[in-house]
Amino acid sequence: MRRGLVLSGGGARGVAHVGVLKALDEMGIEFHQISGTSSGSIVGALYAYGYKPDQIFELIKNLSIFKSVRPAFAWTGLLKMDGLQELLLKNIPDNNFNKLKIPLTIAATDIRKGQIHYFTEGDLVPAIVSSCSIPAVFNPVSLNGNLYVDGGLVDNLPVKPIRAKCDFIVGSHCNHISPDFDVSNIKLVVERSLLIAIHANIEVSRGLCDVFIEPPRMDRFSSLDLSKAQEIFEFSYRFTKQNFLPHHFQKHAAA
């Protein structure tokens, strides 16, 4: 049975995927295809390259797009991600999709066409950076004559490009929206508004998953702050261990 793993975007909350992966690894669950958006593409690429979840967690603290930015002073965005690119190249030096141990699909938005684009071949790191480029915060990425921004705008849970390649799909979503929201400042209001807008495009994708893992109350963690990385990692790991067993990832259990 061919299993696929799909990892959503979510900024710093993407650390949750690492906790989920650690739990799945301990259950002996293997994957044959991986697909990811934004922070999910970073985690997915490191895992597909061969890093173990504990190793990814140690790396991710230094791979945060919010710790690896430089002022761009351009009209297209406020920051550029040369730092992220350098850090990724250091840890994935082969920098090509065909060097990965597990096939990977990365979602980014073609800002000119207003359409999703799925990278599956060629240079790896530019595709990851494209997928992470939040509009108006980071400069769009020019690649192959096109201009790309964060894939979460159109497809924050990219199941569709690998659904036909897999018998069984596991989706990991790190953007659960809880009803108990305290309006304490404008930053939180803006961040929650973006979460709600992006959440709309995952509903169809969620229905395409055989197993959907969504740690609750993740919106209590900021997508822009990695200071809670350890807590996010441990919480998502415990949630997965407590709520899922190996038999949940078998075809007969899909119903």
Is 193 known to be catalytic?
no
What torsion, rounded to 10 degrees, do the Cα atoms 179, 137, 125, 108 define? 60
Report the chain's terminal Cα–Cα distance, integer Å: 16
**Is residue 46 within 8 Å of 18, Cβ to Cβ?**
no
The helix-helix angle for 229-243 and 15-26 (nearest 10°) equals 40
Candidates 8, 41, 133, 150; catalytic one? 150
Candidates 8, 38, 68, 223; catalytic one? 38
Find all residues with CB under 8 Å of 156, minimum gap 6, and list them. Answer: 8, 9, 37, 38, 175, 198, 199, 201, 202, 205
Is 38 known to be catalytic?
yes
What torsion, rounded to 10 degrees, do the Cα atoms 22, 23, 24, 27 define? 120
For residue 85 the two structure tokens come to 């690119």
Residues catalogued as catalytic: 38, 150
